[in-house]
Amino acid sequence: MSSVPIDRRPASAVVSEIDRAAELAKCSDEVLARALIAGERRAGAEVWRRFSKLVFRLLLRRLGSRDEAHDITQEVFCQILRSARALRDPTLLRSWVVSVALRTLKWQMRKRRLWSWVGLTEATTAIEPSTSSPDSEAQHMVRQFLRVLETLGTREQTIFVLRYVEGFRLAEIAQATHVSLATVKRDLARLSRQVSDMVAGDEDLMARLGRHEGVA
């Protein structure tokens, strides 16, 4: 007859871990990053809680498959735990997480090319509404974003999504995509003109994009 494993740690140790988890849930990204680098057990769980949805959304947009995005999201966080000490600047935790996600995605796509399954440029782009409501205006918004994203290259698409969909700051985008801040600014200026021309008649979408303009 099997028995339930007994936690033989002192009650104070269990309470201490619970308290620490609560502290990490309220701390800044920088404090969390330092705990992660130090190898704190609870830090990895908090990083997952804080950033897994972001990573999943980014992967879903690139892959178009929820199952694939879910699998690679798990691999991303395995990589994060294994390479935590590679994070040089704890103030850039979020952009570092995104950079790990992008590197992991590229590696997965490279393996697929070797396996002759599908190339990186053939991956589909998908955006899902934040609500299941059949509201026609929300559906129109999604179609507009799809139309915009499908015209962009891989780097441009990533920069666009990080800026206008996820609300990243310019320095975070530069860190996540491994390009200079000047390159990010130049690409965004060109993308802003391109997107503005495409959605000039859509006041709602223009308002959403405009909310991120001028935010360094």
Task: Return the pLDDT at 57.
Answer: 93
Task: Return the pLDDT at 136.
Answer: 60
Residue 205's pLDDT band (boundaries 50, 70, 90)?
Answer: low
The mean pLDDT of 30-56, rounded to a whole number, is 93
Residue 39 has pLDDT above 60, yes or no: yes
Residue 128 has pLDDT above 60, yes or no: no
Mean per-residue pLDDT over the chain, rounded: 75
Residue 120 has pLDDT above 50, yes or no: no
Residue 53's pLDDT band (boundaries 50, 70, 90)?
Answer: very high
Residue 126's pLDDT band (boundaries 50, 70, 90)?
Answer: very low
Question: Cα–Cα distance between 103 and 83 in angstroms, integer?
Answer: 12
Question: Cα–Cα distance between 102 and 58 in angstroms, integer?
Answer: 9
Question: Cα–Cα distance between 100 and 86 in angstroms, integer?
Answer: 11
Task: Return the pLDDT at 49.
Answer: 94
Question: Cα–Cα distance between 96 and 80 in angstroms, integer?
Answer: 9
Residue 115's pLDDT band (boundaries 50, 70, 90)?
Answer: very low
* pLDDT, tens digit (0-9, with 9 covering 90-100), for 157-201: 788 878 877 788 999 999 888 889 999 999 888 887 777 776 666
- Tokens 């269990």, residue located: 14
Task: Return the pLDDT at 166.
Answer: 78
Residue 2 has pLDDT above 50, yes or no: no
Residue 131 DSSP one-character state: S
